[in-house]
Structures are given as structure tokens and as C-alpha cells.
Structure 1
Amino acid sequence: MTKNEAFLHLGDALPTDIARRRDMGDLEGAVRLIDQRLSGGKQPLLAPRLEAERVRLERLGHDYPFTRAEAVGQIRAEWPEFTEEQFDALVDGGRIDWRMLGGEMHIHERFLESLRIYPREAPGLRPERADHTERDAMLARMEREGSLTARITLRASIRALVPVEGRAVQAWLPIPAACPQQSGIQILDATPGGVPAPEDAPQRTIWWDTRGVSEFTVTYRYLHRAEYVNPLALPLEPVQPAFDLEEQPPHILFTPYLRALAARLTAGLTSPAERAKAIYDYVTGQVDYRYQPAYLQLDCIADQCAKTLRGDCGVFALLFITLCRIAGIPARWQSGLSVRPDGAGPHDWAMFYLAPHGWLWADCSFGSSARRSGEDARRAHYFGSLDPWRMVANSAFQAPLTPPMTGWRQDPYDNQVGELMVDGRGLDSTQRDWSQEVLELELL
């Protein structure tokens, strides 16, 4: 068992004395109690859960760095007449994410970006600017032609911000994986010594094991083909397959709430395509986008998303996958990068299976964004189809790297920007830097 498998135990309840201290914001007290139990060695079956919680508590302050006063001050820098009562209303409305640290409210590091998405509720802030003209033209061409292929060249890098001279360094950077959408994968250039994982690795990377090197870079090219499909128009087999229907603790769990929700959403629907569409319509229509902390800070992601109606791209995807599996529709994870002519960034989405056609896609995050802006045609596109502006690196959630990382990963669930380890210790987000540069994006 590697350290990172400890996060499989997050569904196990903490001892109540530790949970109470954590929830009241006494992180030092919670860590002290965890260390006492670990040092005693009397409860080895509980150790993975305690170790995972210790990592979460150590990193929590990075995700929630601002006090309430500091957050209000940041808003007032743009919106001088903003009041404490308005702040409370945004918190109560789920627009501002917070945790208790040191006995006081602390605010998520990207709370301002979350607020900019909703100008009606935060009218004094500079709104998010999103021009979808080029994307809409690309999607229209894809629908018109039936499919669209992009040739994409990317350069990715990761750099240690801590001294590494004379020290053992290992690095992993995501690279394109073999999947239904991608072909012609080429590694054009890389820091010497890099070892690519097999093309079908569930979280594909190029890996280095060296000494004293602080920065690692890889340049790759691939073809990404996106097919336009309307799932509701497909002829389907009367008996559908029975794979990818299981629970995957701790986040893809068939909780009583999710079972009841799936039953309500799909009541009276006999076609699996219609059931998947009902689930997609619910997720994209009811769940609002809000920037999230590191996923290791989240409990039972799909269930909590359904209850809070807040999430980001991966949270959306996990809720869709879980509800589909409950409804008897095979579904799985896919992630990597969203690639645009002006840049690239981490992104997650879902796959679902309809026989005899095969795998189809659902990007609930992009669908929810289209709903916010009143663009139902774009929302409809992302049920069944994606776009060629992608890089797929990962086909599984919470899968190991190649070789498995022995230190704590910064993200034990997904791998979109890479991991670094120095002298056997995984580097946190504050100890490393990463970049992704689009060198070529050509539609063929």
C-alpha cells in the first residue's frame, strides 16, 4: 500500500474528539490527537484514515488563506459600498466557500473568481469575461461535418521552488494517453531521462528519476478527434452492458440521498439515453459552478455536490457518473486539459456507455456554463459530444502514477499538472510551479 491509498479511507468516520476539534477550527489540537493515536500503534486499521486527515489539516490553510475581514476588504477594493450584510448573504447563498481555522472563518483562495461568475449577486465586482465566439463557430462546424479533428502541440513543465542541489528528485508530467479520441501521439522533446508510461496507463505521465534537477519539461503532439452524436437519436440494444456500474469509495458512493435522487430523476424513463439525459439536465440545470479547494479536502464528493448544488468540473463529473451508475448506465471518468488557441488548463468530464454505439461523453461543467449564459444549443452539444480542444491524460479517478509515487501527492485523485518529489517527500502547491503552453492548435 502506498501512502496515497490512505485517501481511499476518507469515508471512514474520524474519532469524535478529532472531528470536533477539526470542525471548530482547532487544527493544531486535531493534529496533536492524531499524532497521539498514531504513535500508540493500538489501532492500525484506523491509521490510514488518520494519516490522510493529517495531510488534509496541514494543507487546509493554503486553500482558505483569507480571514473574513480580508475577504471583505478585497471585495470593497472594487465595490466600496459593499456591506457586511451582503457578505453574509453571499455566504448563506453558497457563493462564498469557507472553513473554520483557528476558531474563525477563513475564505477560499479563489472566492473572488467564483463571485465574478454571478454578476447579478455581486454587481459591484468586475464580471467574468468569456467570449465563446470562436468556440461556438468550432462547435457549429463539428455538428455540421459530423466530426472534427485538431492537431495540437503542447509544452508542459514543472519546477521545484525548494533547493534540490545534491538531492534525489522525481517528477511526473501528464502526457496524452491512448483513448477513443486521440491518435498520432508523439513526444517531440523532453528533459533528458524521461520515461513515458504505457499509452494505456490510467493516469499517463512521463517520469524522471534524477538528482539536483529542479525543472522538467515535455513537448508533445497528438491528434484529437471529436465526433458529434445525439444520444437520443441512437438505436439502442434492449439489454445494456453491466460494467462500470460499481461504487468507488470514498467519492462514488450510492448514498440513500443519491439513490432517491436518481430514482426521482429517471422515473418512468425506460431508455438509458433518456435516463442519462435526465441526469445531465439535472446536473447542468441545478448545480452552479464554484471554485473548489484541493479535492483531498472534500468529503463524499458526489453526495455533497447533490446536496450543496455547488461544484467545479470534476465535482460535476463525479455526480453525473454516480447518478448514471445508480441508474444502470455505465459511466467513467476522463480528464486532462481543455485546450484553447490562447492557452490550456486542467479540466475533467465524464463518459457514459450506450450499446451498441459505445462510449459517449458528458461535460456537465461546460453545460452548466452554457445554461448560465442562456446558450441552450451549446449546453445540448455537451451531452453526448465534446470538442477537439482537449488533451486526455487520465481515464480513471484516484489511479496510481507510473511508477506509483511513494510520497504524498499534491492531488491523489487526478493528475493534470504533474507531481514532484524531493528526497522522498511530495511537494505541496506552494513548493512548486507549473505551466502549459499551446504551441499549435490547428483544425484539420
Structure 2
Amino acid sequence: MDFLNVDLPEDIRQHISAGHLNKAKELIDIYYKRNISSLLKRRLDFELLRIKMLKNHYTYSIDRALSLCKEKISDFKEQELQYLIDERYADWIYINGEIRLSNNFLDNTIKVNNQIKNRLIVKEPFDKSGELRKQVVNEIINNGSKSYYIHVKTGLKVKIDENVKGNVIKVHIPIPKNAQQIKGIKILNANHMYKYISDENYPQRTIYFEDDLKDENEFLVEYYYENHIKYNKLDYDNVAEVQPKFYLEEELPHIKFSPFLVDLANYIIKNEKNPLRKARHIYDYITQNVQYSYMRPYAAIESIAEYCGYNLKGDCGVQALLFITLCRIAGIPARWQSGLYVTPYYIGCHDWAEFYIEPYGWLFADPSFGGGARRNNDMIGWDFYFGNLDPFRMVANDYFQYPLYPEKKFLRSDPYDNQIGEAETEMMDLNNYVESILDIIEVKEINS
């Protein structure tokens, strides 16, 4: 993705900024006919894909959005929609001169705005996962540890049509990797003969299939693992004078030491010298100021940490990347973790961070869950997710922007992370042909 470090020509940039996406596409076609470098051509190729992503993600007109809100929310007024837009609950962009809201703007509003949530005409079901997580967090604090056995089946379902049928399909499915909290990984079975399984330490671990796509259109893998969490009770006065110097570099375009982010880090940290307190200041800033927001595809964001810092909104991964970037600017080693969040009641994708402080070693930070706890007045949970993590995680990735093995020929649906999987043939990418399969088989507490 090195081409994302190359800027767009001014006229294309101006039209995209104004939301004139069709005109931007016309200009890109004109630039293709000019004598341009290969790197700029790749950047323009990607911009065409990004325009398509934006059009697919932002489909609600103001009128359609207002109608949906009135249908779902009791006594919803027209001026309230503008409030949701202004206060970052409802994500939007201009497309060809009109405001378009994101497909999930209402889901996001309900998640983070309790006043709107309480006015739903059809109430949401009780959050069993959240209640269990809160209980387990308190038990970890009181007892010092907690361990869970987690058994799931995951994969991809591929839509079969004449463009796909009869071709060899190449599929990557994420599987658990070694991590400080993960033990006892066992791949039980797969419904196709696999060609390759990444090493348990590979930064983005997958099981890889190559098979003719005929009538069987699901690629599944079943596995179990154990998640062992030990409580880190942090003492800000017990920090080593000498700290390590790894995981401190930029990784463009998303972990970027721009003047803005350097200034933001300095603004947050001020004169603090203690690295543990520095990290806590960064965590507090994000959890107190960044509004949780469902995001457009990450590939449609040009610089993720900067996006979060400028707009003060983002989902779990966007918040984690801002935390990692600000920590590295402040001289604190920090890195990525992601995969699945799995309880007996729920399974879905999630991202978080690790940061390193001697003498504690690698500590966890989950600004998304921490910010959610604070939003719901759970100060114990807010404090817990700085330094600690619940045991309901499957770690598939511990490095952002790392290639799959074997590498894909076409651009990945998520070029930076891999939580659901990827699929392609020799002739085409299958990003628009797949849906994820995430099935819970068993989740139970075990002795540490």
C-alpha cells in the first residue's frame, strides 16, 4: 500500500473533497492517458476502488434517513437528525452534491446514544454478553485471573454465479495464533482439503484453501483454544528507568508521525516523563474524547490514526491505531492485536492494542471497550481496560499491514487486517461475492 503515500493530482483531490465523485472518475480516466509514473497510476487505480467503496457505504439520503428514524424511534423530530450529524453519531459525506449518510448510521446512533436507544419503538434484547463481561472483569480484579475454553467454527460462504463457477478459488480463513493470553490451539477439521496453515507465530495467521468451486460454496474451519488472563495491578511508581526501544517506528500510511499527531501527543502528555502515566494520559484522552463510530471500510481511509485524531470518532480499530501511534510518538512501544470477540452469546470482529512498560512487559489497552464502559458510567471497566483485557478474545493478528501467506493477487477486502477472511480466483477478486460465517460451538470457564 505504499502508493497511499502519494498524493492525488489537485483537480481530482478537489472534486473528491467536494463529493463530486463522478467527475473525479472522469478526470482519473484523463490522467491515465498522460505520461504518469507507475506509483501514481496505482494510486489512481486505488482511488477508483475507494470511490466505489464510498458510494456503496453511504447510500441514505436525508429524506430516507429521516423516514427510517421516524419508523424506528418514538416521536423523532426532523431537527434531531441534524443533531445526530453534528454530534458525530451519524457519519456522512457528500456524493455528487448531496449529503449521504452511512448505511449503519442508525445502528451506530443506537449503540452510543442512550437517549435515542431508550426511545426505540422495538426495544433491543438484553445484552447478555455485556453483563457477563462486566461480571468477569470484576472477578479478574478480585481473584487475579480467569481462563476460558473457546470452540468455534468460522469461514466464508461464496456466492456462485457464472463468473465464478468452475474456477479455482483461493481462500484465507483467520485462525488463532500464539499470543501472551492464547494457549492450547487446536485446529480440529475443515470441510475442504487445505493447502497451507500458517505457523502459529505468523503475524496474520490463516488456513489457506485452493479448490474448484462447484456446488459446495462454503469454506469452513473448526478450532478451539484457551484464553488465560492474569490481572495486571499497575503501580505508577514502579516503573523502570530504562525502557526498550522496539515497536517505535512509523508504518505509513496509518501509523504516521505527522506534525498534527506529534502536536496532539505533546498536548496530551505535556511534561509527563513516566511512560506508564504517559500511556494512561493517551488512553484517557481517547476514551474521553473520541466518539465511538462504525466506520467505512478501512481501505477508504487514507490515514487512519490521523482520521481519528482530526475527527475524534472511530471504531475499535481506529481508536487502537490512534493509541498505538501516539504511544510510539511518546517513546512507548505499542502494537496491534485483533481477531474475534467470543462469548457464549455473541461472536464478532474486534481490535485492540498492546503497549510495553518495564517491569510489566506487554500490557493491553482496549480504548473502545474502555470508552464504552465510561460512557455507561462503569468506572471499574474504564480503568480495567487500561493494562488488562477480558478473556473473550481470539487473536488472529498481531501486526497491522502485514501480508497474508500465500499473498493475494488482488487487493484484499481489508488490506491491513484479517478477521473474517479473503477470497479470489486467478481472474477476479471475490470481495463482493462472500459473506462471513461465525458460529459459536462452546464457550466455558476452565481452571487457570
Q: TM-score range by the shorter chain?
A: over 0.9
Q: In the aligned structure 2, how far is the partner of 1:366 from the partner of 1:360? A: 15
Q: In the aligned structure 1, how far is the partner of 2:261 from the partner of 2:234? A: 24
Aligned to 2:44: 50
Change (3 A) 1:188 1:10: same
Matched, 1:65 2:59: yes
Q: In the aligned structure 1, how far is the partner of 2:33 from the partner of 2:219? A: 37
Aligned to 2:391: 388
> Is residue 159–residue 215 contact of structure 1 (8 Å, CA) maintained in 2?
yes
Amino acid in the other structure paired with 2:109? L
Q: In the aligned structure 2, how far is the partner of 1:364 from the partner of 1:56? A: 27
Query: TM-score with structure 2 length normalisation?
Result: 0.93
Aligned to 1:378: 381
Name the % identity: 37
Change (3 A) 1:122 1:175: closer
Distance apart, 1:396 and its partner CA:
0.8
Post-superposition Cα deviations, 1:90-122, rounded to whole Å, max 9, x if no partner, equal: 212222111222321111011011111203367
Q: In the aligned structure 2, how far is the partner of 1:62 from the partner of 1:312? A: 19
Matched, 1:178 2:178: yes
Identify the range of structure 1 (279-288 vs 138-147) with the bigger mean alpha-carbon deviation: 138-147
Aligned to 1:166: 166
Query: TM-score with structure 1 length normalisation?
Result: 0.94
> Is residue 245–residue 328 contact of structure 1 (8 Å, CA) maintained in 2?
yes
Distance apart, 1:52 and its partner CA:
1.6
Amino acid in the other structure paired with 2:187? I
Aligned to 2:356: 353
Matched, 1:296 2:291: no
Trace 1:265-344 onto structure 2 (pairs within 5 A): 265-344=268-347
Aligned to 1:258: 261
Structure 2 residue corresponding to 1:436, chosen from 406, 413, 438: 438
Structure 1 residue runs without a partner (length 5+): none
Identify the range of structure 1 (417-426 vs 332-341) with the bigger mean alpha-carbon deviation: 417-426
Distance apart, 1:313 and its partner CA:
0.1
Q: In the aligned structure 2, how far is the partner of 1:72 from the partner of 1:374? A: 30
Change (3 A) 1:39 1:432: farther
Post-superposition Cα deviations, 1:33-73, rounded to whole Å, max 9, x if no partner, equal: 22332354532231221122111112222211211211111
Post-superposition Cα deviations, 1:126-148, rounded to whole Å, max 9, x if no partner, equal: 57654533212211222222221
Post-superposition Cα deviations, 1:269-304, rounded to whole Å, max 9, x if no partner, equal: 221111111111111111111111111111321122
> Is residue 340–residue 348 contact of structure 2 (8 Å, CA) maintained in 1?
yes
Q: In the aligned structure 1, how far is the partner of 2:102 from the partner of 2:127? A: 22
Distance apart, 1:81 and its partner CA:
4.1
Distance apart, 1:336 and its partner CA:
0.3
Q: In the aligned structure 2, how far is the partner of 1:384 from the partner of 1:155? A: 30
SS for the counterpart of 2:235 is helix
Structure 1 residue corresponding to 2:81, chosen from 72, 81, 87: 87
Q: In the aligned structure 2, how far is the partner of 1:90 from the partner of 1:22? A: 24
Distance apart, 1:364 and its partner CA:
0.5
Structure 2 residue runs without a partner (length 5+): none
Structure 2 residue corresponding to 1:26, chosen from 20, 25, 37: 20
Q: In the aligned structure 2, how far is the partner of 1:398 from the partner of 1:424? A: 24
Q: In the aligned structure 2, how far is the partner of 1:34 from the partner of 1:230? A: 55
Amino acid in the other structure paired with 2:209? W
Identify the range of structure 1 (86-95 vs 64-73) with the bigger mean alpha-carbon deviation: 86-95
Identify the range of structure 1 (59-68 vs 106-115) with the bigger mean alpha-carbon deviation: 59-68
Size of the aligned set, in residue pairs, is 437
Structure 2 residue corresponding to 1:138, chosen from 115, 136, 153: 136
Amino acid in the other structure paired with 1:221? Y
Q: In the aligned structure 2, how far is the partner of 1:111 from the partner of 1:389? A: 27
Q: In the aligned structure 2, how far is the partner of 1:147 from the partner of 1:270? A: 31
Q: In the aligned structure 1, how far is the partner of 2:268 from the partner of 2:235? A: 17
Q: In the aligned structure 2, how far is the partner of 1:266 from the partner of 1:59? A: 36
Aligned to 1:37: 31
Matched, 1:188 2:188: yes
Distance apart, 1:370 and its partner CA:
0.3
Q: In the aligned structure 2, how far is the partner of 1:64 from the partner of 1:11? A: 25
Post-superposition Cα deviations, 1:228-266, rounded to whole Å, max 9, x if no partner, equal: 103335733211111111111111111222212211222
SS for the counterpart of 1:91 is helix
Identify the range of structure 1 (9-18 vs 305-314) with the bigger mean alpha-carbon deviation: 9-18
SS for the counterpart of 1:436 is strand
Amino acid in the other structure paired with 1:170? K
RMSD over aligned Cα atoms: 1.8
Distance apart, 1:365 and its partner CA:
0.3
Amino acid in the other structure paired with 1:251? H
Distance apart, 1:123 and its partner CA:
6.0
Distance apart, 1:431 and its partner CA:
2.1
Structure 2 residue corresponding to 1:76, chosen from 70, 83, 94: 70
Q: In the aligned structure 2, how far is the partner of 1:348 from the partner of 1:269? A: 28
